[in-house]
Amino acid sequence: MGSTTLSLHIWHSFMAHIAPFKLNMYGKHTQKESTGFSHGCCLLTADKLMARNWPCNPVCPLCNNEAETATHMCLHCPFALLVWSKVAIWTMGLISVPTADSNLQEWWANSITMVPKAKKRTVAAMLIYTTWNLWKERNRRIFEGVRCSLLQVFSLIKEEVALRQRACGAPMIE
């Protein structure tokens, strides 16, 4: 089974019922981002917009330092790393902080496959809710001119997870 097939299999196996549909679709697009086979069904970060000759600011709005790509925004951006650090502490190490050489697809797949079966859905949900809130923060900064702090973004993640727990009983973060 190829890595793309494996990652899509992982996606369908573990993500189907752990987050609302729009978050599952967002997570699926995040997974497809780094495979190179998905044209038009991926996160429209600055690198993708520029490839389509659409006007945009090429710099990441979260850190204002690096070129904006999905991998940078989700994993390598200093702001994102601080968010992942907060999530890692909150989940008592269930979620790992991405390393500098992390590839988005591999890190996502490894994060799910390296945990016991009983925790896979929780890990998948945390990956989705965290990257979704990073994406929403990016969009807030670009389209609304509003900047949330690290703690505000982290609080939004916790609020969405708590709401999901009350509604569906999962994911469970102790």
Whether pTM exceeds 0.85: no
pLDDT in tens, 39-64: 333 788 878 877 888 888 889 999 99
Domain membership flag for residue 117: yes
Domain membership flag for residue 40: yes
Asked if residue 14 has pLDDT above 50, the reply is no
Domain membership flag for residue 174: no
Q: What percent of the chain has pLDDT over 70?
A: 74
pLDDT in tens, 133-156: 999 999 999 999 999 999 999 999
Tell me how many domains the chain contains.
Answer: 1
Domain membership flag for residue 72: yes
Domain membership flag for residue 173: no
Q: Which domain covers residue 87, as residue numbers? A: 3-168
Domain membership flag for residue 44: yes
Neighbours of 94 (CB within 10 A): 17
pLDDT in tens, 71-96: 999 999 999 999 999 999 999 999 99
Domain membership flag for residue 102: yes
